[in-house]
Structure 1
Amino acid sequence: MDHLDKLENKSIHIIREAYSEFNNLSMLWSIGKDSTVLLWLARKAFFGHVPLPLVHIDTGYQIPEMIEHRDKLAKEWKLDMIYGQNEKALEKKQTLPAGNVDHTQCCKNMKAEALKKTLNGTWKRYRMNHETGQYEADDNQKPYTGVIVGVRADEEGSRSKERYFSPRDTNNDWDIGDQPPEFWSQYKTDFAPGTHVRIHPLLDWTELDIWEYIKREQIPIVDLYYDRGEGERYRSLGCYPCTEPVQSTASNVDQVVQELKSGKFSDIAERDGRAQDSDEGAGLEELRKDGYM
């Protein structure tokens, strides 16, 4: 097996292990390249079918092309697509674009809080009706006790502290110092009742691995990752008020792979254009302790 085969096999093993060990499991899909690769791996793990719901946290400020791509693939691949949202914060304008909170608080409101309340079922969930193609309020509010997430250890400092099977408490809060050891590909999956578990099948992957896999598998991703004639593209996707593109003329997957191999971005962090990563101190780590993806 080559390098990508080994990564693929390990990720599929972790996805299947999670599915066999945890009841009421879900998978987060941010519509970005990493979580789309994760979705592709899940389809491979279950022979073209994804037997668990896909959850997207809609902040109301995603780039429109992301939402279009989400719904297009959800219909084509017949995904059980669900989204959640902090409707109260949007109504009260407790967001950065409204000018009432800073980056960190906006992320807490629109992402961390919305994620926790969507996963535990205390806030509304909206599920795609495949007959109409529209989203409707979901009657099922049962908590998701486990969630599969497409984070990578090399993407950002706090993510490197994760485990493949990472326990949270009932509030989804993360105690970094209380993570189980994972030696020789042995994973702890028997947690105390009430534990919420995040599963990270892409932990070993790098940004280049992701792109080479997208190239090999011809995975459809949102075209915001490519230059569309303006001399810039996105390396990392988030809310449009807080995410900046990079200067690049890479207009297809081959050119993106070549950019990463040539060293154009070798000294620039992948999330350099994400405003919440630029705040002083360990802001993103604190957000992740509080439930942020």
Structure 2
Amino acid sequence: MTRRVAAVDIGTNSTRLLITDGTRRSIVTRLGEGVDATGRLGEAPQQRVLDVLRDYKQLIDGAPAAAVMTSAVRDAANGAEFARRVEETLGFPARVLSGEQEAKLTFVGATAQRDEPEPVLVIDIGGGSTELVIGHKDELLFHASTQIGVVRHSERHLHSDPPSPDELRALRADVRLPEHPRATKAIAVAGTPTQAAAIDLGLEVYDPARVEGHILTVARLHELCARLAELPLEQRKRVRGLDPARAPVIVAGLAILLEVLTSFDLRQVEASEHDILYGLALSTAADAP
């Protein structure tokens, strides 16, 4: 992409910006806080997102842009009202994606720069939903959007600090996946795998170039999950490589990722920075006059 375009992803856990001039921002805003229990977006989480979007609008500076909203807004009774507030704040269209649309954009983003000879599984673990897509080149062979997410499942199950073994077992038992075809390779996008890669690499400063393509084995993910689950939140925030803002949900994310890989009988996964945000930027560039 040579033209300057912008993409905004308003997720359940974070609000992110990608501009094709190299600008990237990701801020944990926890929009989905409490949605699983109440069915509504809280006013405080909404304001956190809108405050971030005002800053993003200044960075976008009139470039062709698009914004999408995912699980929390899809599920909330007041999601449509919030979507209107988002469009008023940004001054350009903001769509609430269906699970299918979210899965397709994620697959496009994850595979756009690849030429995989075999079908590949793309895993996107979000705050309120997890998207699973299997495809080969431009052909989607399977996709599912599940009600599994790091915010949703942390709020449901992880009430102790640190979480108890019984809570972790209950969380993993609640990761119910649909029947699916086989895949021989997996790419995982979004905060859980990229943060796990940063921890595994021992990064003092997050480096997307080093995270991109980093391989995480199931054995290593088990080690990371067990280590982080043993730490109280304040100690977890100080783990090298982990963004402190993601410390409250990283244990749930790793548990979910492990359940997905087990279900697909895979022994490793590749972390990738190229996710739904990249797919949205590609779509925006293609549609721009």
Query: Quick check: TM above 0.5?
Result: no
Bigger strand fraction: 2
